[in-house]
Amino acid sequence: MRILILGGTVFLGRHVTDAALARGHEPTLYTRGLHGAGLFPEVEHVRGDRADLTPLRGRSWDAVIDTSCYRAAHAEAAGQLDVGHYVFVSTGNAYPTWPDEPVDEGTPTWTTVDDGYGPQKAAGERALQAAMPGRVACVRAGLLVGPHDNVFRLPWWVRRVAAGGPLPAPGDPGRSLQLIDARDLAGWMVELAERRTAGAFNGTAPIGQTTFGEVLDLAIAATGSDARPRWIDEPALAGAGVEPWAELPLWMPESAAGTWRMGTARAQAAGLRCRPLAETIADVAAWLRDGGERELGDWRAEHRPAPLSAAREAQLLALA
């Protein structure tokens, strides 16, 4: 198949390109050429901006996999391209009740059109479905992990675990998480394009896939570290002003009950499968050991959590 990949050189898009090549397809990458420009010299690169798809007009592809759309207007414009099938990377934020409440793939999405991330993604879904009825797969992605993670949430923990010693750990070690390896999501999206599968899917691991405690235990095993998690209860974290999700990545308070409860029945029925998390964490540890963090550019750098200072760590450990 001739597959147009919008994005294709950063994290998820990079893994989509790898998956397409591994399955014998012919990818065309549409990027600005600012990040990962030296990757995939064997494929066609077309330079351009998401706001202007003029370089793609007058051409056709069997499918497009869109990893880089954040504006509904850009999705609407892409819906006019000559492509057979469209796989659109959306987000769990397309649900207005998430992460406060659990959701499944039939939960209503945003209907307002404002500048928020979730409403724009939901409006982009609607625009594509209107332009290409029956030919669009909307993949509402959850928390992506794996090598080349430019947002650096799981790598943050693996790096800190590797440093060893007492480790501030948030909340309940038995708190469930849903983490999907970006390589698994990427390969599955290529399969959706191959099969011309349409519909809306939650692109994440099954509910109850793992726990916070297991993630840290797997990171200790992968790094050979002597790290010792010291669990801090939520009231103490709140009292210390710990910012959920940002200061201690992956942690959201229990009040955000839906964070790790995204139903995936449709996605699983359509073939989405997740590799063992131990494999993902071992690969992230190897990527970090090989200097992977140095490859990260400035794309979405504002979302990367900063390391804790020694003073802040000591303050938090005193609460355990």
Is residue 169 pLDDT above 90, yes or no? yes
pLDDT tens, 77-88? Answer: 999 999 999 999
- The 8-class DSSP code of residue 168 comes to E
The whole-number pLDDT of residue 162 equals: 98
Cα four-point dihedral sign 203, 207, 208, 213: positive
d(CA 43, CA 27) in angstroms, rounded, equals 6
pLDDT at 284 over 90: yes
* In contact, 142 and 203? CB cutoff 8 Å: yes
Provide mean pLDDT across the span 159-175.
Answer: 98
Which band of pLDDT confidence, cut at 50, 70 and 90, is reported for residue 196?
very high
Predicted TM-score (pTM) of the model is: 0.97
Number of residues in the chain: 320
Residue 165 — left, alpha, or beta (φ > 0 → left; ψ -120 to 50 → alpha)?
A: left
The C-alpha R_g of the chain, in whole angstroms, comes to: 20
pLDDT tens readout for residues 216-245: 999 999 999 999 999 999 999 999 999 999
C-beta separation of 163 from 199 below 8 A: no
Phi, psi (degrees; rounded to nearest 5) at 237: -65, -45
d(CA 260, CA 177): 5
Give the span between the Cα atoms of 85 and 60, in whole angstroms: 11
Alpha helices in the chain (DSSP H): 12-22, 72-78, 117-131, 153-163, 182-195, 212-223, 234-239, 265-269, 277-289, 310-317
Supply 23's token pair: 């399955």
Q: Which domains does the chain have, with CATH numbers?
A: 2-143+181-203 (3.40.50.720), 147-178+207-256+275-317 (3.90.25.10)
Q: In the prediction, which pLDDT does 37 show?
A: 85
For the chain, what percent of residues have pLDDT higher than 90?
93
pLDDT at 150 over 90: yes
C-alpha span between 120 and 34 (Å, rounded): 24
What confidence category does residue 299 fall into, taking pLDDT thresholds of 50, 70 and 90? Answer: low
Among 69, 78, 80, which residue's Cα sits nearest to residue 141? 69
Quick check: 119 pLDDT over 90?
A: yes
Higher pLDDT, 34 or 248: 248
What pLDDT score does 251 carry?
Answer: 97
Q: Which amino acid is at 286?
A: A
Packing angle between helix 277-289 and helix 153-163, nearest 10 degrees?
70
Q: Does the pLDDT at position 268 exceed 90?
A: yes
**What is the H or E stretch that residue 167 is in?**
strand 166-170
Q: Is the peptide bond before 99 cis (omega within 30 degrees of 0)?
A: yes
How many C-beta atoms lie closer than 10 Å to residue 282's C-beta? Answer: 17
Per DSSP, 294 falls in state G
- The pLDDT of residue 300 is above 80: no
Strand-strand pairing, 210-211 and 176-177 = antiparallel
Evaluate if residue 296 carries a pLDDT over 90. Answer: no
**DSSP H helix total and E strand total for the chain:** 10, 13
